[in-house]
Structure 1
Amino acid sequence: MDSFELNKIIGAILGTLLFVMGVGFLAEAIYHPIVDRGPGYALAEAEAPGEHGGAAAEAPPEVPLGVLLASADATAGQAVSKKCASCHNFGEGEANKTGPGLYGVVGRLIGSHEGFAYSAGMEAHKAAGDVWSYENLNAFLTAPKSFTPDTKMSFAGVKDPVERANLLAYLATLSASPVPFPPAEADPAAAAAAPAEGAAPAPDAAAAPADGAAAPAATEAPAATEAPAASH
């Protein structure tokens, strides 16, 4: 192939590329969108919950611990305790494992089980005189790292409040003298719905006079009979 033919091929390729580029520039100029010119229509955005009178979703009220414990099932709690069995013993006089023995734990001074090396956080609870009350056990079992940030316990916690109550009911049985449950306070939701004690019932709307209506006029007494004129 001589140089003339090669130049023709190269020229054809370059010409094609220039043609394609020119068509691209032309198309972009024709179809390029025009911004901020002429009337437009703004699409409505979804409103956030609670705006313009919309009610936001509310979390259900927390049930008091005493109410949960009043209906707790210790047998179900024993089944839950299997999650803890790899680190704790539950029998009286049994040796410590990775965690301290849990027999008699309810009401016990925190960080005081004999022969167990506690973390600094548990030792601080002990120095403060904190005990394993039902409330403290419930808080610890909900989130151990929140109750004692440097605890050695790697357990994530029991998130279900009913499951925790069952477990606490089982731990209460691990004692010769079980600690009584806290009083079962009234459920806040039920208390809010119940009428106040001694409150008078609302008057019947039909019996009450309409707002602004005048009270019926009092019956007028009959006019006194005029005395006859004296006779002359």
Structure 2
Amino acid sequence: MSGERPASPPAVVVVDADTPGNVGTIARAMKNFGFEELLLVDPPDLDREGDAYGFAGQAREDVLPNAREVTLEKVVESYHTVGFTATTNEDARKHVRFPFRTPADLADDLAGVGADTALLFGRERIGLTNEELASLDQVCAIPASAEYPVLNLGQAATIALYELRGLAMADSQLPDVSHERADEGEIERFYDRFGETLASVGYPAEKRAKTMRLVRRLVGRAHPTDREITTLHGVLRAIERATRKR
């Protein structure tokens, strides 16, 4: 994801939704992941006392009331378009639903697109038709079980918008999930202490070197934090105290 928020996050287009609840769910997902522009093609009635506003969460305050009704033709004319579908033709001889991107691939792909982009999600029952998809610039599909690849409209949009959040939000707007590894010296002291503890509890001498290698690999993959290493030191101290009391 880029450090700066794009000037114009993609618009989200919902085509011919049957249920107001799904429109509200999509509006809520947009609010979750930084998308603002909701366009509706042949929408159901969005009663402010109904499911759309009930399912929208805080998006009822801005995303949903600011939604605009448009035609598909106007969207195609005004945006670089991406249609989302559950059914793909994984055959280069068929061009309506092939080639296609996954949402994760699409995130990188659209990061370099300078034009305004629209993400289109279709009907609950049949999604976007072949004719509609043929008029769009790209196709995207969410990888799912071949036995049952069809997702609920609201669920599909939520998954896609999560994967594409970097197109709408700067890193500074997202929770910090960075992981700071403990000081290497502290980790090495833990290994030394672990070896001493093995000896103090009578662990077989011939197995200690192999066990220490396994522990080093295990801890190395875990990238422990300072607090985690401090806690492990505390566990070893408790084991040592218990051993001395015997």
Q: TM-score range by the shorter chain?
A: under 0.3
More helix by percentage: 2
The structure with the larger Rg is 1
Q: Could you tell me the TM-score, scaled by structure 1's length?
A: 0.22
More strand by percentage: 2
